Amino acid sequence: MRWTERQRLMLEAIGIRVWGPAEEGATAVAEAAPPPEIVAAAPATVARIGGPRPTGVETMDWPALRTAVADCRACKLCQGRRQTVFGVGHERAQWMVVGEAPGEQEDRQGEPFVGKSGQLLDSMLRAIGLTRTPEDAARQVYIANTIKCRPPGNRNPEPEELAQCEPFLIRQVELVQPRIILAMGRFAVQSLLRSNDAIGRLRGRVHRYHGVPLIVTYHPAYLLRNLEDKAKAWDDLCLALQTFQALPNA
Ligand code: SF4
C-alpha cells in the first residue's frame, strides 16, 4: 500500500510510523494483511426488560427515530442521563463508525466521540481519507454508539441495556445504508457480533452486521491508554480500507 506525504503526516499524528520514502514505502503490516475472510454474526435476540420503548422503530424515518431515542425510557440508563446521544454525520454516509456508550463529555455535548478520544478518532479517520465534518457521502462517516445514554460512572453497559437499545442502532444502519462498518471497543464489538471473544480474537477478518461488512478495532479511549496497540488499530483501518475498495463500485 502506498502513502502520500499527507497520509504519512496523518499517520504520525495517530502515533504510527511509516517506513520507507513517500509514494513508494509500505507498512509491512498493511502489505501483509490477509485476504478478507467473511464471518456472519448470529441473528439478534432482543429481550424487553423495562419501561416503554417506542413501537415501530423498524419503520421510523430520521426525525421519528431522533424523537423516539430522545424520549426513550426503556432501560434504567434513562435515569442518569443529561441527554441521549443519538449520532452525527452524513445520513447516507458510505462508512459508519459504531462505538460503545456515551461518556461524561458525550453526555454533556450530545455527540459521540468527543474529547481526546474523539480527536484521536478524527485523526484515524483522516488517515484513510474520511471525516466527520460536512463532506460528500463518500468521505464523511456516520458515527453512533450501541448505547444512547451514559452508564452512570462510565460503568460497563449491561447486556439487557445493550439489547434494549440495539433496535435504534439497527434502524440507524438501515437508514444510513453504509457500505462498511467500523466497530470500536469491546462492548460494541461483542454486542454487535454476539460474541464473548476479546477484540484480539475478532479483529483481522471481515464480519457482517445486518448484511454490512464489519471490521473490528480498538476504541480510541483504549488506544490512548495502550499506545502499543495503535499499530494494530492501523492494521484494522487498512483492512477496512482494503475491504471497502474491494466492494463493487467502490
Ligand atoms: S440506553 Fe437506549 S434503551 Fe436505554 S433508555 Fe437510553 S435510549 Fe432507551
3-state secondary structure 42-75: CCCCCCCCCCCCCCCHHHCCHHHHHHHHHHCCCC
Q: What pLDDT shows up at residue 56? A: 92
Query: In 3-state terms, what secondary structure has residue 15?
Result: coil
pLDDT-derived band at 24 (thresholds 50, 70, 90) equals very low
Look at residue 180 and tell me whether its pLDDT is greater than 60.
yes
Indicate if ligand 1 lies below 6 Å from the C-beta of 33.
no
The span from the CA of 145 to the CA of 199, in Å, is: 17
Q: Measuring CA to CA, which residue among 188, 174, 209 is closest to residue 58? A: 174
* For range 199-217, the mean pLDDT: 96
Give me 46's grid cell: 432482543
Q: Which atom of ligand 1 is nearest to the CA of 161?
A: 4
pTM to 2 decimal places:
0.83
Q: Measuring CA to CA, which residue among 42, 24, 9, 27 is closest to residue 241? A: 27
First to last CA, the chain: 17
Indicate if ligand 1 lies below 6 Å from the C-beta of 148.
yes
How many CB atoms within 10 Å of residue 164?
A: 25
Q: Summarize pLDDT for 66-115 with one digit per residue, the tens.
A: 999 999 999 999 999 999 999 999 999 999 999 999 999 999 999 999 99
pLDDT-derived band at 50 (thresholds 50, 70, 90) equals low
H or E element, residue 64: helix 62-71
The span from the CA of 48 to the CA of 35, in Å, is: 39
Q: What pLDDT shows up at residue 164? A: 94
Å from CA of 232 to ligand 1 middle: 32
- Average pLDDT of the chain is 85
Q: What pLDDT shows up at residue 202? A: 97
Higher pLDDT, 32 or 154: 154
Q: What pLDDT shows up at residue 166? A: 94
Indicate if ligand 1 lies below 6 Å from the C-beta of 77.
yes
Å from CA of 148 to ligand 1 middle: 6
184 with 125: CB under 8 angstroms?
no
Indicate if ligand 1 lies below 6 Å from the C-beta of 147.
yes
Indicate if ligand 1 lies below 6 Å from the C-beta of 165.
yes
Å from CA of 122 to ligand 1 middle: 26
The span from the CA of 137 to the CA of 60, in Å, is: 21
Q: Which residues are bridge partners to 212 per DSSP?
A: 209
Nearest CA to ligand 1 atom 1: 149
Indicate if ligand 1 lies below 6 Å from the C-beta of 101.
no
Å from CA of 166 to ligand 1 middle: 9
Strands 141-145 and 88-89: antiparallel
Nearest CA to ligand 1 atom 2: 165
Indicate if ligand 1 lies below 6 Å from the C-beta of 199.
no
Look at residue 225 and tell me whether its pLDDT is greater than 80.
yes
Q: Summarize pLDDT for 115-165 with one digit per residue, the tens.
A: 999 999 999 999 999 998 887 888 999 999 999 999 999 899 999 999 999
